[in-house]
Every structure is written in structure tokens, then in C-alpha cells.
Amino acid sequence: MNNVILRTITAVVVPIIALFSIQLFFAGHYYPGGGFIGGLMAAGAIVLLLIVFDIRTVRKMIPINYQWLIGTGLLFAVGTSAGSLLFNVPFLTHAYRYVHLPLLGKTSLHTAVLFDTGVYLVVVGITLVIIETIGESD
Amino acid sequence: MSTLHWAMVAPFMLALFVPFLYKHVRSIHTGWFILPLPVALFFYFIRYMDIVQQYETVTETVPWIPSLNIHFTAYVDGLSLLFSLLITGIGSLVVLYSIYYLEKEKEKLHHFYVYLLLFMGAMLGVVLSDHLITLYLFWELTSISSFLLIAYWYKRERSRYGAKKSMLITMFGGLLMLGGFLALSVMGDTYSIRELLAHSSTFVNEPLFSVALLLILLGAFTKSAQFPFYIWLPDAMEAPTPVSAYLHSATMVKAGIYLVARLTPIFALSPLWIWLVGGTGIVTLFWASFLASRQTDLKGILAYSTVSQLGLIMSLLGIGALAFHYNFAENIFIVATLAAVFHLFNHATFKGSLFMVVGIVDHETGTRDIRRLGGLMTVMPMTFTIALIGSLSMAGLPPFNGFLSKEMFFTAMLRVLEADIFSLETWGILFPVLAWCGSVFTFLYSFLLISKTFLGEYRPERLEKEAHEAPVGMLLAPMLLALLVIVIGFVPNILSDTVLAPAVYAVLNGLFKPGEGVDVHIAHWHGWTPEVFMTLGVIAVGTVVYKTFPKWNGVYRRLPERLSLNHLYNRLLEWMEKGSFALNERYMTGSVRTYLIYIFTAIIALLSVSIVLKGQWNIEISRFAPVGIYEIVLAVVIVAGALTTLVSKSRLTSIIALGSVGYTVALFFVLFRAPDLALTQLVIETISVALFLLCFYHLPKLRDHGKGYSFKLTNAIISIAVGVVVSTIAFLSHAYKPFESISQYYVENTYEKAAGKNMVNVILVDFRGFDTLFEICVLAIAALGIYGMIKLRMTKEEKLEK
């Protein structure tokens, strides 16, 4: 079946969804969003690719083992939480600092973002593991 | 640890080495290695006689669990010394006997001696312990080692049956006794028996007094095979004969006697104790001696005879407790306690020898059935002599020691008539009457035992082996016991001052001062008293009954088997097994629906009952927020979606309707200003609907597919009730808000402390990030679980294909 329209639209839409996902993720600390919904959105973009192309093609496009992604995400979350122990403060104490960056201006750097990255990666990983596993089974 | 403690644990320690001795020294019978220990212990305990004779006691303590006030306290007084001497003395003889009885090649001797040593140590522990908890520990150890010994020939079905029965009954009693001990320790605020005895008079009015009394008595009665718990003892005769001689005549069955004797000063003030101990004892005496005459198995006769003699001792202890109700000066009931202690000793001697004799007969002829035995008198003269001495002593005939204690028993029973408390002046007449009848039967079975085995004509064709006299080694132990029977019969007073007086003093703790007056009674064993005439009556009537026994023997056959306690026990076990099985079958249906009904019904019942009991029926309307048009519309939509899910005929409709419910919830989140929740809810609802559709697509083509739901009234009622109860609780709890919410803290500090403006997200990753950490773990586990289930299923299928 020739679904050229679908493919073309996908090519345009997936970057937009991906950007939206990243926006949701980074805005999470100040506006609605965060790791969870961001991760789901990113997974959604890849699901759209899966619908339009087949699993093998998508694997070539994005050569990531999603199970590793889950592990990496958990490491991020635990690492951030346990990192605070090095500074002699309780587990999961976050730190933040305002810095002036070129282009962006006054920006807050916050370890909570690292924690949220863990959430993000885990959510992307689990969604895609589930969907791929089910999709591959007959 | 003191020497006394080493003496207590020595059997356990030797038991450790028995298997090595058995495996590595095969040429020597393992029993020879065991024998020195009980002999040494016997002579060790003899040394305590000097101390005990002075009415002094020895106490040694080793802490076990000091924080819980549990210690191994060993305590030696007259009573424990008497028992210790019996245990080690008869233990030595039994070990000697077993060396000749059990064959070195055929039997698993290491099992036998390990169990026997365990038992010996446990029994010493029971009689020497001053601490209730350690007493209980050793008590259960005797039960366990007895269980092991009864089932020594574990390949026989009857052995296993007997072992299980004795285990169930004695453990039942043991556990109840533990309850009694705990009640006792609560009353006295101590575990030490000595301390309990010291202020025992204050217990009578305690609410736990009767509870402790009943529970402890149940423990003692089950162990000592009293009515109606005697049924395990005849079945325990499947054990090897040395075991029967040791455990089931001389020692273990007297553990209950020991306990009753030991705790008499505490409970004696209660009429319940006197009636229960005395009454049960006398009933057991009568009933078991009646049943003993019908047995055809020699060990069966001895088993019932043991039960009956234990009943005798028990009844004497019950009457002896009356002594606490009278002044010491004119006290006529002390003789009962003296008789109990004396008979305890005598019974151990003659019953031990009788069991050994029966074992010899079994060993040399191959049978114990009195219908096949007879005329062994000339073949086995030594065995016959010992049996005669033992039986005559058991029957209570002069000049043997059984006569003396039976005279004292009659004296005690007659003196019951002089008591004027606890309706003993009227119902007390039962005691001498039953005692006398029981003695007649005792006389009967003692003579049957002798005549059926040794008298009559010798018929070798009925026997499995050719009968001949036993080897000297086997005869040695019963000979020593028989010698003791005679010696005590002629010179009883060698015992009185050394052993019996201190024991009586220990049983009647606190009643009199050391050395006051009991000795007179022991010396006083002669004279034309009513007791002598009772004995003469027993002999006369007994002889008549014995002569005419074949004529009225049929009475026993009239006794229906269905009414026997054994039958009752078997049926009870069967009924319990079947009953619990049927119960399980009934409610554990295996259907998840049924279990859900149980769970929901329980929820409804518990919640509604607690609502009603609390009775807080205020619903505060002032706290309700105003309801807008959007909420109403969305509520209608969500209710419509839910109803569609419920009543739709096709599953597809239900899935779609469920999706609509989910999206409406997302809309509610929007309406109630929860953007994060709304976003997540939308995406998650989409994914789950997609998964539902996937499931739907793979459903098997069933016959009734698409027919819709079937209506069940119970389910409808339960679900409505759950809804009503949960809604009610929601309304009620809304009205009940005693504290301000803590959300104000988050509102104030989200930016101040966490440098964020999205409060939800800050709570998720910062204030309460710990929860999030594990929620993503949950997600990871779920994903890996799905992966595992699908992939593993596939590999399994592939394997099958190969």
C-alpha cells in the first residue's frame, strides 16, 4: 500500500511532537509538564513512526535498546538521589543555582532536572518495550 | 554450671556420641556404653539423700534467657530425689535388660539408645526443674522421645498408630498445661515453683485460679493416662518391651503424678482440685482394672494395670490434699500422701519387673497372647518366680510391698468418710467402694496374668519358638527389682526415713515443720484394722471371681465396641479430618468470583458495622462547593459512560465506553484545575484503550461471545452495597476534617525552597521524590514483566515445536 501522504506528514509531525515533548520536559518545573508526560509524548512520536513504518525500519532509524533505556533512567534517578549523600545531606536533597548563560540569559540549573531525566527515560523505555514486545508477538 | 546441671545434661551429651559408638565399635553391644551413665547418675543422686534427710534442699541456677527471667533452675528436695532415683535406677536396669533383649545385628541400636537417653535426660529435667518454662520444655521432650520410642519399629502400622495417638493426646495435654503454667505465673508473678509455693495461699481468690487448675490438671491427666485420656497407653505397648517397662510403667506416666504432687500445696485449698484429682483417680482405678481383666495380650493387661495403679496414686494425692484443710495436730489425711509416695515407689519396682518378665516370655516363646501361652512354670522357673512376686505385690498380698501400700490406700480411702467438707460426707462413700471393687479386679487380673501364662499345661505346638529359660543377663534386672519388692515388703522402714518422709514433706509443703510426726504413720503398719478385713474381703471375693471367671467372662463381650473411648477417639479424628476437608471443599471453590464475593461482603459488613457503631451521621453541607453547569454535564456524561460499560452487549462497546469514562475524568481534571493530571490521564487512557483493543482482538471465538452480560442478583446487591457504603464514608469523612491541610506549606515553599513554580511537579520530584523513585521502579517491573511473559511463552512454544 502506498501511503505517501501519511509518511510525508509523519516526517513533518514527528519533529514537532519531539520538540513538544522536550518542551514539556524542560518546562516541567515551572509549567504543566515534566518527565512523565514528556516521556509519554516522546514515546508517542516513536509510536507514530512504528505505525507508519515497520518495527525493523524504526529500529534502524533509532538504534536504541529500550530495556537499556529503562536501566539508564533508573540509574539517573537513583544516582541523582544518592549523589546528595556525597555532600553530607539526606538522600534526595536537590540543589539549584542561577547562572547566566549566553543566549538564554538567567537560567536555573537544578538537580531535580536530572531526576526528572531519569523519569523521562524510564517512561520512554517502558512504553516502547511494552508496545514493541506486544507488536512483535504473534 | 553446677554438678547437678551436668548430671541433668549428661544423658543428652552421651546421646550425641551414641551413633559414633554404634558405627565404629560394632563388636560390642552399644548398650554397654550407655549403662555406666545411669548407674553413675544413680549413685550421684544417692549422695543427695543425706541432705534431703535433713529436710534441706539444694538449688542451682544457670541463666538461660535472663531478660525474660527464664533460668535452668535445678531444685532437689524429697520428691524430686525420689523421682530421680527411680529414673536413674530403673533406667540402669532397663538399659541392662535391653542389652540382652535387643539383638545387636538386627536392631538399629543407635536409634534406640539415642531416644532412650533423650528421654532419660528429659525426665530428669522434668523432676528437677524449678522453673515452669523449663519444666514445660523437658515435659515436651519426654513426649517427643516417647513418640520416637513407641514408633521404634516404624515399619509396623500399629507402632505408627500408637505413636501418633500418644503424641496427639500428650501434646494436647502439654499445650493446655503450658497455658495453665502461664496463668499460674501471671497469678504469682514468678515462674519459680518454689516462690509460687511460698505464697500459694493468696491464689485462691484470683480469677485465673480455676483456669490454671483445670489446664494443669488436663496436662497431668493426659500424661499420666487418667480417665478418659488413658487410651493412648495400651496402644503405646507396640514399643519394645524395655521402653514399655521404663516409660510406660515406671517413669513418664508418672510425670503427671509428679506435677500433681508438686503443685498440691498451691491448689489443695480448692474443692475442685480434691474432687477432680481424687475422683478421676478413683474412677480410673476402677475402670482400668475392670478392663484389664478382659485383655488377652500380656502387655495389654499390664498397660491397663498401669493405668489403674496410676489412678490409685492419683486418688491418693487428691485425698492427701485434704490435709491442707485441717489442723496438723489431728491430721488424718497425711497418710494418703504417704501412701501415694510409697505406692509410687512400689509400683515402679513391681511393674518394671513384670514388664521385663513379659518381655522375656515374648522373647523366649514368640508370643504374648495368653490364649496361646500356658504351663511355662516348669520351663521357665526363674521367670515364673519373678512374675509371681510381681503379681502378688500388684494384687496387694503380703508379704510384698504392694500389700503395705494397698493397706495404706484403704486406710486413706476409709478416712475420706471422716471428712466433713465439700460434700465428701455424702459422696465420699464412693471412694472406698470404688477402691475396694477396683482392688478385686486388680486381684483378678494379677492372678489371670500368672495362671494363663505359667500354670496349666504346656503346649509347645502353639508357640512360635521352643520355650526355654532366658539368659541370666536378661533375668538380672527383673530379679533385682523383685528382690527390692521383697526387701521393701519385709523392711519398709528402710525407705521411710530416707526417702518417703522427705517426699511427703515436699508434697505437703508448708503444712508442717521438718521432722514433725509423719514417721509415726510409716512405722504403724500392723494391727487388726478395718483395712485388714477389706484386704481379706478382696482376697475372698477375688478368688471366687477368679474361679468363676470363665462363666461370667461373657460380660466383657457384651460391652459394645462402639461405646469404647478408643472408638470415640478414632471417630473423632476421622470426623475432624473429614469435617475440615468438607469445609475447605465448600468455601474454597477455586472460583475467583466466589472469593471476590467473600472479599466484598467482608468489606461491606466491616465498614457498615463500624459506621453504624460510630453513629457519626453529620453531613456538613456548608463545606460543599457550589456545583456549576459543567460539572453537571460531565457527571451525566460519565454516568452514561459507566452505565454503557455495564449493560452493553458487546465488549467493543464496553471498551469504547470505558474510554469515554477515562476522557471525561481527564475533563474533570481540567475542570478542577489539574493540568498535569489531565495531560497524563489523556495519554494513559489512550494507551490503555489501545491495549484493551489489542486484548479484544485476540479473544478466542467463544460460543457465547457477544451475548452480553448475565444478570445475577447477588452480584447486583453486593456492588450496589459497596457503592453505597463507600459513598457514605466519603460524605461522612468530608464532614469530619479535624485538621487543616498541609498544602499551604507547599504553596509557600515551592519557589522559596525548591526553585520551581509547578507545585505538582516539585512535589513529585523534590518534596516527595522518594515515591516517584519507586513508582518508576513499578513501571520498569511492569514493562520487564510483560516482556518476560511474552518472550518466555514464545521460547516455550518453540521448544515444544522442536
Q: What is the pLDDT of residues B415-433, one digit of tens each?
A: 887 777 766 667 777 888 8
Identify the sign of the CA torsion B760, B763, B769, B774.
Answer: negative
Per-residue model confidence (pLDDT) at position B526: 64
Q: What is the pLDDT of residue B775?
A: 92
Q: Rounded to a whole number, what is the distance in Å from the CA of A63 to chain B's nearest CA?
A: 19
Distance from CA of A126 to the nearest CA of B (A): 5
Output the DSSP codes for B618-659.
Answer: ---GGGPPPP-HHHHHHHHHHHHHHHHHHH-SSHHHHHHHHH
pLDDT of residue B706: 56
Three-class secondary structure of residue B65 per DSSP: strand
Q: Which residues contact B55 (CB under 8 A, 6 or more apart)?
A: B78, B502, B505, B514, B515
Handedness of CA B645, B650, B651, B652 (dihedral sign): negative
With cell 514368640, the residue in question is B366
pLDDT at residue B667 in the model: 94
Tell how many helices (H) and how many strands (E) occur in chain B: 36, 2
Is residue B302 within 8 Å of residue B350, measured between CB atoms?
A: no
Contact at CB, A74 and B764, closer than 8 angstroms: no
Q: Which residue in chain A is spatially nearest to B769 when comparing CA positions?
A: A92
Query: In what helix (H) or strand (E) does residue B559 lie, and over which residues does it extend?
Result: none
**A36, B680: Cβ pair inside 8 Å?**
yes
Q: What is the 3-state secondary structure (H, E, C) of B568-582?
A: HHHHHHHHHHHHHHH
Cβ contacts of B786 on chain A, cutoff 8 Å: 129-130, 133-134
Cell numbers representing residue B72 in the block:
535452668
Please state which of the ranges B126-135, B419-428, B579-588, B651-660 shows the lowest mean pLDDT: B419-428
Residue from A20, A99, A110, A126 whose CB has the most chain B CBs within 10 Å, to mutate: A126
- Sorted by where each begins, the domain ranges of chain B are 1-211+226-249, 333-556, 558-588, 590-698+714-738, 740-792
**How confident is the model at residue B517, as a pLDDT?**
59
- Contact between B216 and B182 (Cβ < 8 Å): no
Instruction: Assign B110 to helix, strand or coil.
Output: helix
The pLDDT of residue B383 is 87
Of the candidates B675, B764, B776, the beta carbon closest to that of A32 is on: B675
Calpha distance B226→B347 (Å, rounded): 16
In the predicted structure, residue B666 carries a pLDDT above the cut 90 = yes
- Among residues B367, B259, B374, B362, which one has the least CA distance to residue B317? B259
8 Å CB contact between B233 and B306: yes
- Write down the pLDDT at residue B23: 86
Query: Are A77 and B694 inside 8 Å of each other by CB?
Result: no
The size of chain A, in residues, is 138
Chain B environment of A79 (Cβ under 8 Å): none
Residue of A40, A73, A108 lying closest to B683 (CB–CB):
A40
CB contact under 8 A, A134 and B694: yes
Check CB contact under 8 Å for B776 and A123.
yes
Which phi and psi angles does A101 have, rounded to 5°?
Answer: -105, 145
Comparison of pLDDT for B733 and B726, the residue scoring more: B726
Among B25-34, B231-240, B452-461, the minimum mean pLDDT is found in B452-461
As a whole number of angstroms, the distance between CA B734 and CA B726 comes to 12
Q: Which three cell numbers stand for residue B651?
A: 465488549
User: Which tens digits make up the pLDDT trace of B361-393?
Assistant: 888 888 888 888 878 888 888 888 999 999 999
Q: Which pLDDT does position B324 carry in this prediction?
A: 82
The cell for B218 is 488436663
Q: Which of A30, A37, A127 sits opposite B756 (nearest CB)?
A: A30
pLDDT at B405: 83
Q: Is the separation of the CB atoms in B69 and B191 below 8 Å?
A: yes
Residue of A92, A96, A123, A127 to mutate for B, most B C-beta atoms under 10 A: A92
Confidence of residue B524 (pLDDT cuts 50, 70, 90): low
Q: Which residue has cell 540543589?
A: A95
pLDDT digits (tens, 9 = 90+) for B404-414: 888 888 888 88
Q: How far is A40 from chain B (nearest CA, A)?
A: 7
- Examine the predicted complex and report whether its ipTM is higher than 0.85: yes
Q: Which residue has the higher pLDDT, B295 or B36?
A: B36
Between CA B264 and CA B502, with CA B139 as vertex, the angle to 5 degrees is 40
Mean pLDDT is highest, among B605-619, B741-755, B776-790, for B776-790
Determine the distance in angstroms separating the CA of B709 from the nearest CA of chain A, rounded to an integer: 28
Cα–Cα dist B160/B166, whole Å: 10
Mean of pLDDT values over B593-619: 89
**A123 contacts on B by Cβ (under 8 Å):** 776, 779
Cα torsion through B569, B575, B578, B581, rounded to 10: -100
Interface touch B762/A112, C-beta < 8 Å = yes
Q: Hey, are the CB atoms on A119 and B676 less than 8 Å from each other?
A: no
Return d(Cα B280, Cα B315) in angstroms, integer.
Answer: 7
Contact A77 B676 (CB under 8 A): no
Dihedral angle over CA of B168, B170, B172, B176, nearest 10: -170
Q: pLDDT at position B697, please?
A: 77
> Span B270-282, mean pLDDT?
89
Task: Give B602's contacts (C-beta < 8 A, 6+ positions apart).
Answer: none
Of residues B563 and B486, more confidence is placed in B486
Average pLDDT over residues B518-539: 73
Q: How far is A32 from chain B (nearest CA, A)?
A: 5
Q: Looking at beta carbons, which residues of chain A come within 8 Å of B675? A: 32
DSSP code at position A137: -
Highest mean pLDDT of the ranges B4-8, B54-58, B738-742: B4-8
Q: Determine the longest span between alpha carbons in chain B, in angstroms.
A: 115
Size of interface A-B (CB pairs under 8 A): 121
Task: Check pLDDT > 60 for residue B208.
Answer: yes
The span from the CA of B459 to the CA of B466, in Å, is 10
d(CA B275, CA B294): 29
- Residues of A in Cβ contact (< 8 Å) with B758: 27-34
Q: Determine the Cα–Cα distance for residues B383 and B746; give it in Å rounded to an integer.
A: 97
| pLDDT band, residue B171 (cuts 50/70/90) | very high
Cα separations (Å) of B739 from B136, B470, B735, B743?
Answer: 53, 91, 12, 12
Q: Of B82-91, B486-495, B514-523, B687-696, which range is least confident?
A: B514-523
Domain ranges (residues) in chain A: 4-136
Cα distances (Å, whole numbers) of residue B257 to B216, B217, B388 = 12, 10, 27
Q: For the ranges B378-392, B497-511, B788-802, which has the lowest average pLDDT?
A: B788-802
* pLDDT score at B798: 65
Q: B707 to chain A, minimum CA–CA distance in Å?
A: 27
In this predicted structure, the answer to whether residue B463 has a pLDDT above a threshold of 80 is no
Q: Which residues of A touch B760 (CB under 8 A)?
A: 32, 34
Cβ <8 Å between B773 and A73:
no
pLDDT digits 0-9 by tens, A12-23: 999 999 999 999
| pLDDT at residue B705 tops 60 | no
Nine cell digits for residue B342 = 510409697
Average pLDDT of every residue of chain B: 86
Contact B787 A67 (CB under 8 A): yes
Instruction: For B40-84, write each residue's pLDDT tens digit.
Output: 999 999 998 888 888 888 888 888 888 988 888 999 988 999 999
The answer to whether residue B624 scores a pLDDT higher than 90 is: no
CB contacts of B784 in chain A (<8 Å) are 67, 70, 129
Chain B CB contacts of A115 under 8 Å are 765, 769, 772
Residue range B629-647: mean pLDDT, rounded: 92
Q: Measure CB to CB from residue B780 to each of A27, A92, A122 and give the nearest one.
A: A122
Does pLDDT of A63 surpass 70? Answer: yes
Distance CA B21, CA B30 (A): 7
Among B363, B355, B387, smallest CA distance to B467 is for: B363
Smallest Cα distance from A71 to chain B, Å: 8
> Under a CB-based contact definition with an 8 Å cutoff, are residues B386 and B358 in contact?
no
Which three-class secondary structure state does DSSP give residue B62?
strand
- Mean pLDDT throughout B632-642? 94
CA–CA distances in Å: residue B678 to residues B629, B655, B661, B685: 20, 20, 13, 10
B761: nearest CB among A29, A78, A96 = A29
CB B154 within 8 A of CB B111: no
What's the CA gap between B444 and B538, in Å, rounded?
Answer: 10
Residue among A77, A118, A130 minimizing CB distance to B786? A130
Given a cut of 60, whether residue B520 has pLDDT beyond it is no
pLDDT in tens, A65-107: 999 999 999 998 999 888 888 888 888 888 877 777 777 777 7
> Any idea which residue has 501434646 for its cell?
B171
CA–CA dist B425, B621 (Å, integer): 76
Give pLDDT, residue B160: 93
Q: Which residues pair with B740 in a beta bridge?
A: none
- Determine whether the interchain pair B683/A32 forms a contact, defined as Cβ–Cβ distance below 8 Å: no
- Say what the pLDDT of residue B679 is: 92
Closest CA to A35 of A43, A46, A83: A43
pLDDT at B556 over 90: no
Which of B680, B779, B786 is most worth mutating to test chain A (most A CB atoms within 10 A of its CB)?
B779
What percentage of chain B exceeds 90 in pLDDT? 35
Q: Do B765 and A119 touch (CB under 8 A)?
A: yes
Q: Does the N-terminal peptide bond of residue B399 adopt cis geometry, omega within 30 degrees of 0?
A: yes
Chain A positions touching B762 (Cβ under 8 A) are 29, 112
Query: Which residue of B680, B761, B795 is the best one to mutate when testing the A interface, meaning the one whose CB has the most A CBs within 10 A?
Result: B761
Q: Which pLDDT value is given to residue B708?
A: 60
Spatial contact of B645 and A3, defined as CB atoms under 8 Å apart: no
